[in-house]
Structure 1
């Protein structure tokens, strides 16, 4: 079978060996426990979530945490890396789409659509595609969990250039999709003694008119 051709450097990077190695590096029980606390905070102001889509799920650690918090939710994942998608398919009850988020065209919507450390790795000029995807595929909530910076900046990442970007992703999403409004936000610090995360800022957005629905 021919290897898929990806348009951007970032897609090529994450579909290859680096994306595979990422899953190996980030699979400890401590990380899973920390993720449970993280998503417990995120879901604290999200109501009646019965279906969840993660864009860029890698091997599925976030979905494992969410399964423990919302046991009966329908879970789905989009993942570009073939090896990681193979691990995702081992998780019970997870619908897996092995493709780039830039090519994903869903035929349904989910109560919650989220990214966690994924938008930072999308080519900046392609971000509007992902913003539109998140808004269109969400029935109610969108959650952005990324590195925040008030202005766009590129950061060297493990010896590589132009594969990690910080910016105000949530602000750009809100500006592009005024049907969304901010519900809650928070910061997860790497020096938190009980549940450290990688200095992520998260923003929970909701479609207007859905509050109390």
Structure 2
């Protein structure tokens, strides 16, 4: 492993390389759209009582954390991002945050956070052993809450993504997580609608569901 990145599969190569850099450019939204998401984060966190710290798995260049900091200025935020250019941008734009340039599948820390957020990332972990390792890290690093924001499907469904069928797999993420770690339960649920987000995101980033889980 070098700089927190592993080279044992096509997925890591995709996200750490040129395609990952291009993904960062496509998702580098402006301040207006950062501000537009503040009300949605407030809704998503409405039952996450008493949290003072948060880590996001799959931070990219930090748009979610930037919006969350606007919504909750006192919250201590951290992030894990596999792509070095994206992680460096997140560090630059969120100097108060602790950004780890690592893989969420192999991430290892002695720290724990009140809430672990993962948004639009689980769909891209299509290999079974890595998917289950990512779910295990949600359980490991969350002291109180896990917030999953993503597309969901009752049955695993592959989606073509830039001409490939190994980079997007929609599953029932919250149920898979609860089945594996039954001490968790869904305590709140909602969705990110087109009207909530505005015009700054691509269609494949819209109309996703969110699930707040607690112990």
Q: Which residue of 1 aligns with 2:172?
A: 168
CA contact under 8 A between 1:8 and 1:123: conserved in structure 2?
A: no
Kindly state the Cα deviation for residue 114 of structure 1 after the two structures are TM-superposed: 1.0
Q: Which residue of 2 aligns with 1:6?
A: 7
Q: Which residue of 2 aligns with 1:144?
A: 148
Please state whether the residue corresponding to 1:75 is helix, strand or coil: strand
Kindly state the Cα deviation for residue 10 of structure 1 after the two structures are TM-superposed: 1.3
> How do residues 87-166 of structure 1 correspond to structure 2 at under 5 angstroms?
87-90=89-92, 91-125=94-128, 126-166=130-170
Q: Which residue of 2 aligns with 1:199?
A: 207
Looking at structure 1, the residues matched to 91 and 180 of structure 2 have their Cα atoms a distance apart, in angstroms, of 33
Looking at structure 1, the residues matched to 102 and 166 of structure 2 have their Cα atoms a distance apart, in angstroms, of 21
TM-score of the aligned structures, taking structure 1 as reference length: 0.90
Kindly state the Cα deviation for residue 168 of structure 1 after the two structures are TM-superposed: 0.2
> How do residues 179-190 of structure 1 correspond to structure 2 at under 5 angstroms?
179-190=183-194
More off after superposition, 118-127 vs 194-203: 194-203
| C-alpha distance after superposition, 1:168-208 (max 9, x if no partner) | 00000011111111101112223x2x53451211100001x
Which of 35, 45, 52 pairs up with 1:50?
Answer: 52
Looking at structure 1, the residues matched to 12 and 36 of structure 2 have their Cα atoms a distance apart, in angstroms, of 28
Looking at structure 1, the residues matched to 66 and 74 of structure 2 have their Cα atoms a distance apart, in angstroms, of 12
Question: How large is the RMSD of aligned CA atoms in angstroms?
Answer: 1.8
Q: Which residue of 1 aligns with 2:16?
A: 15
CA contact under 8 A between 1:37 and 1:195: conserved in structure 2?
A: no
Please state whether the residue corresponding to 2:45 is helix, strand or coil: helix
- CA 1:8–1:34 in 2, change beyond 3 Å: closer, same or farther? farther
Looking at structure 1, the residues matched to 137 and 37 of structure 2 have their Cα atoms a distance apart, in angstroms, of 24
Please state whether the residue corresponding to 1:142 is helix, strand or coil: strand
Runs of 4+ aligned structure 1 residues displaced above 6 Å come to: none
Q: Which residue of 2 aligns with 1:35?
A: 37
**Size of the alignment, in residue pairs?**
205
Q: Choose between structure 1 and 2 for higher RCO, CA contacts under 8 A separated by at least 6 residues.
A: 2
TM-score of the aligned structures, taking structure 2 as reference length: 0.89
Which of 61, 64, 68 pairs up with 2:63?
Answer: 61
Q: What are the ranges of 5 or more consecutive residues in structure 1 without an aligned counterpart?
A: 208-213
